[in-house]
Amino acid sequence: MPLVTLLDYAGVAVFAATGALAASRKQLDIIGFLFLASVTGIGGGTFRDLILGVPVFWVANSFYVVVCAAVAVLVFFGAHRVESRYRLLLWLDAVGLAAFAVIGAAKGLALTGSPTVSIVMGMLTAAFGGILRDLLAGEPSVLLRPEIYVTAALAGAAVYTFGVLAGLPVPACYVAGFLSALIVRGGALRYGWSFARYKSRPGRRPEDIP
Amino acid sequence: MPLVTLLDYAGVAVFAATGALAASRKQLDIIGFLFLASVTGIGGGTFRDLILGVPVFWVANSFYVVVCAAVAVLVFFGAHRVESRYRLLLWLDAVGLAAFAVIGAAKGLALTGSPTVSIVMGMLTAAFGGILRDLLAGEPSVLLRPEIYVTAALAGAAVYTFGVLAGLPVPACYVAGFLSALIVRGGALRYGWSFARYKSRPGRRPEDIP
Amino acid sequence: MPLVTLLDYAGVAVFAATGALAASRKQLDIIGFLFLASVTGIGGGTFRDLILGVPVFWVANSFYVVVCAAVAVLVFFGAHRVESRYRLLLWLDAVGLAAFAVIGAAKGLALTGSPTVSIVMGMLTAAFGGILRDLLAGEPSVLLRPEIYVTAALAGAAVYTFGVLAGLPVPACYVAGFLSALIVRGGALRYGWSFARYKSRPGRRPEDIP
């Protein structure tokens, strides 16, 4: 199996698992698990393919949907064994983020040749699945958490893109991009890495503004 | 008028009505009614057509938009006569869910031939309009309600898909799929049908996790 | 530079600025600014191009993304000088709304020839960026604010569409549509213009309904 296909299935499966974990946190039924797992697992790639104007990947190959369903069933019967489902969700989300950042960048670069588009597609593809899951499950958005998130996707997409443009072997670029994103996001989760936040003052609530 | 066109207009009209009822619950103005009715009425089908890579149905035939506008005006002047708008919203939503589950499955099957894609398209098309309405109107998501929802769409899409694959007459499959979804969702609304929920323990809030 | 290109860049830049201001209200880091600015700036047009089935504008010309990034950096270093960021956000949003209403209508009319599609595309394109920003940043939706919002987009799109159909010179229609939308939304912001709201009674919470 080519490396890119492996990364693609890995990204779909781990994002599906985060969707199913969110369903277990909300105590949904088995169909709720299947639904949230599918939407989260295939959401990012669907978005990527729509933007790039290529056929949506799971419409062309419905095995991706089967993977999501299998993951949902596994989580439904196994999630109670996990001590902290939210921490597991965040770590799996990190793996999915890294996989989708590189694949999004790879598809963007192959189709347009533009490094800007490539990096933006990496960021958007990687962030979209988690955003969708958090919106649908009513979780606080992973995007607004204090520690580094989108930056990790940006790093992975940029490493891949500049590696390929520099003429390095493509499989090495996949691995380097994936590991870069995973290390940055993993460090953020483990050690709380964050950038200086915009501190001046928080926004007031609209009704308090004269 | 062919049966599928009738189902399509019915689905658009009743989802538009649920959008307008949500607008009336939020006390929006007439334009707010038009906007929420249009987005809810054409949202699911727009999503379906984008994913399947076919021209968006209301761009090709703008009469669908006129239907949404007419429904919005009707609801604007009639909604105060209804005793419980939220119950009416849920029942109309059930009819729209049943119509879109079958049409989504039919379009998916016709275009790809894959039963998996067909059933997933039925589920997603049927669920998307309600999700969009609840997000935009700030209503609690119909997806997270305790009783069966997505399962009804799944049932309708599956009945249609396997009926067609078994060689039954297509109009009979439309009717059987529509009724299956409507009965499942209607029973859930009337008798509170639900699956065993995932009970182990609810999710903690992220800030309570060490 | 043709007038339509100028309007397009102006719309992208001011919506990007509103995204960055929302990021500053949420005290995100610089990458959060870049992300919200990009999503808000290019969101409406992305949606428009997907619906109309044409290549997404920023994939074809990635300079739009560079504009969003530059705006995000400017706001990151300048937002603390602004007395009320939320008022500035609302006014910039008004300018973006006006620009995108006209461009959405123009693209819709050019591709389909249908005035209904043209006006709906104007409304949806203009409203989509703000909706996306408010969803992602957790701001109260601009759509549910009491004063006129979508109506302004409708006015701009209608003025443009009927002007072109009446045979008026296209650049004059751009200007007239833009100014109509800006005046209607500006008046709503300055003087609290609003339509009669649906007053009968607000919706009860779902759990209070027997």
Report whether C16 contacts C67 (CB < 8 A).
yes
Residue with token string 């953020």: A188
Helix (H, G, I), strand (E, B) or coil at B90: helix
Instruction: Quote the mean pLDDT of chain A.
Output: 87
Contact across the interface for B62 and C117, Cβ inside 8 Å: yes
**What number is the average pLDDT over the span A187-194?**
84
Residue at B159: amino acid letter: V
Residue with token string 């009425």: B41
Cα(B63)–Cα(B54) distance, integer angstroms: 18
In 3D, which of A170, A149, A53, A24 has the Cα closest to residue A98?
A149
Rounded to 5°, angle at Cα C129 from C125 and C134: 140
Query: B55 CB near a chain C CB, below 8 Å?
Result: yes
Of A50, A52, A195, the CB nearest to C30: A195
Instruction: Quote the mean pLDDT of chain B.
Output: 87
Reported as a pLDDT band with limits 50, 70 and 90, residue B176 is very high
Q: What pLDDT, on a 0 to 100 scale, did the predictor assign at position C203?
A: 67
DSSP letter (8 states) at residue B181? H
* Dihedral (Cα; B17, B23, B25, B26), 10-degree rounding: 170
**What number is the average pLDDT over the span C50-75?**
92
C6 or A180, which is more confident: A180
State the nearest Cα–Cα gap between B141 and chain A, in angstroms.
8
Cα(B175)–Cα(A3) distance, integer angstroms: 46
For chain B, which chains pass the contact test of at least 3 CB pairs under 8 Å?
A, C
- Per the structure block, which two tokens stand in for B148? 């069966």
Rounded to 5°, angle at Cα B40 from B46 and A54: 20
Residue A104 has pLDDT above 90, yes or no: yes
Report whether A178 contacts A87 (CB < 8 A).
no
Report whether A164 contacts A119 (CB < 8 A).
no
- Per the structure block, which two tokens stand in for C150? 């979508």
Q: What pLDDT, on a 0 to 100 scale, did the predictor assign at position A140?
A: 74
Residue C210 has pLDDT above 60, yes or no: no
pLDDT tens, position by position, B106-143 = 999 999 999 999 999 998 899 888 888 888 887 777 77
Cα(B108)–Cα(B111) distance, integer angstroms: 5
pLDDT tens, position by position, C142-191 = 777 767 888 899 999 999 999 999 999 999 999 999 999 999 999 888 88
For chain A, which chains pass the contact test of at least 3 CB pairs under 8 Å?
B, C
* Dihedral (Cα; A67, A73, A75, A77), 10-degree rounding: -150
Rounded to 5°, angle at Cα A104 from C47 and C35: 60
Contact across the interface for A117 and C59, Cβ inside 8 Å: yes
Q: For A140-144, B156-160, C86-90, C161-165, which range has the lowest pLDDT when averaged over its residues?
A: A140-144
Residue C206 C-alpha from the chain's centroid = 32
**Residue C208, CA distances (Å) to A28, B21, B197 in order:** 22, 17, 22
pLDDT tens, position by position, A125-177 = 898 888 888 888 877 777 777 678 888 999 999 999 999 999 999 999 999 99
Number of Cβ within a 10 Å radius of residue A115: 18
Q: Which chain A residue has the Cα nearest residue C68?
A: A120
Q: Which chain B residue has the Cα nearest residue C134?
A: B136
Of C51, C151, C201, the CB nearest to B56: C51
**What number is the average pLDDT over the span A87-112?**
91
- Per the structure block, which two tokens stand in for B169? 């007459």
Of B53, B194, B201, the CB nearest to A29: B194
For chain C, which chains pass the contact test of at least 3 CB pairs under 8 Å?
A, B
**What number is the average pLDDT over the span B170-188?**
93
State the nearest Cα–Cα gap between B143 and chain C, in angstroms.
14
Reported as a pLDDT band with limits 50, 70 and 90, residue B50 is very high
**What number is the average pLDDT over the span C1-29?**
87
Q: Among residues of chain B, what percentage have pLDDT more than 70?
A: 91
Number of Cβ within a 10 Å radius of residue C167: 6
A41 or A88, which is more confident: A41
Contact across the interface for B51 and A55, Cβ inside 8 Å: no
Residue B103 has pLDDT above 70, yes or no: yes
Q: What is the 3-state secondary structure (H, E, C) of chain C?
A: CCHHHHHHHHHHHHHHHHHHHHHHHCCCCHHHHHHHHHHHHHHHHHHHHHHHCCCCHHHHCCHHHHHHHHHHHHHHHHHHHCCCHHHHHHHHHHHHHHHHHHHHHHHHHHHHCCHHHHHHHHHHHHHHHHHHHHHHHCCCCHHHCCCCCHHHHHHHHHHHHHHHHCCCCHHHHHHHHHHHHHHHHHHHHHHCCCCCCCCCCCCCCHHHCC
Contact across the interface for A117 and C62, Cβ inside 8 Å: yes
**What number is the average pLDDT over the span C121-141?**
85
Cα(A86)–Cα(A78) distance, integer angstroms: 14
Cα(B75)–Cα(B28) distance, integer angstroms: 12
Q: What pLDDT, on a 0 to 100 scale, did the predictor assign at position C183?
A: 94
C27 or A203, which is more confident: C27
Reported as a pLDDT band with limits 50, 70 and 90, residue B147 is confident
Cα(B118)–Cα(B73) distance, integer angstroms: 34
Residue B94 has pLDDT above 70, yes or no: yes
Reported as a pLDDT band with limits 50, 70 and 90, residue C58 is very high
Q: For A113-122, B180-189, C108-117, C197-206, which range has the lowest pLDDT when averaged over its residues?
A: C197-206
Q: What pLDDT, on a 0 to 100 scale, did the predictor assign at position A95?
A: 93
Q: For chain C, how many residues are written? A: 210
Cα(B19)–Cα(C196) distance, integer angstroms: 19
Q: What pLDDT, on a 0 to 100 scale, did the predictor assign at position C68?
A: 94
Of B112, B200, B209, the CB nearest to A86: B209
Report whether A109 contacts A115 (CB < 8 A).
yes
Question: Mutating which of A124, A194, A198 best tests the C interface, going by the most C Cβ atoms within 10 A?
Answer: A198
Cα(B103)–Cα(B47) distance, integer angstroms: 13
Residue A210 has pLDDT above 60, yes or no: no
Handedness of CA B30, B36, B41, B45 (dihedral sign): positive
B112 or C200, which is more confident: B112
pLDDT tens, position by position, A49-99 = 999 999 999 998 989 999 999 999 999 988 777 767 778 888 898 999 999
Report whether A66 contacts A41 (CB < 8 A).
no
* Dihedral (Cα; C107, C111, C114, C115), 10-degree rounding: 10
In 3D, which of A161, A178, A153 has the Cα closest to residue A113?
A161
Query: B209 CB near a chain A CB, below 8 Å?
Result: yes
Residue with token string 């009804």: B152
Residue B162 has pLDDT above 70, yes or no: yes
Cβ-based contacts of B62 with chain C (< 8 Å): 112, 114, 116-117, 120
Residue with token string 């919002």: C149
State the nearest Cα–Cα gap between A55 and chain B, in angstroms.
7
Reported as a pLDDT band with limits 50, 70 and 90, residue C209 is low
In 3D, which of B111, B129, B185, B175 has the Cα closest to residue B154?
B185
Per-window interface: C 58-87 vs A, CB < 8 A: 58-59, 62, 65-66, 76, 79-80, 84-87
Q: What kind and span of H or E run contains A47?
A: helix A30-52
Q: Which chain C residue has the Cα nearest residue A203?
A: C25
Cα(A146)–Cα(B74) distance, integer angstroms: 47
Q: Among residues of chain A, what percentage have pLDDT more than 70?
A: 91
Instruction: Quote the mean pLDDT of chain C.
Output: 87
List b or e across B104-133, with b for residues whose CB sees 16 or more CB atoms inside 10 angstroms: bbbbbbeebebbbbbbbbbbbbbbbbbbbb
Helix (H, G, I), strand (E, B) or coil at A195: coil
Q: For A11-20, C12-21, C128-137, C168-177, which range has the lowest pLDDT when averaged over its residues?
A: C128-137
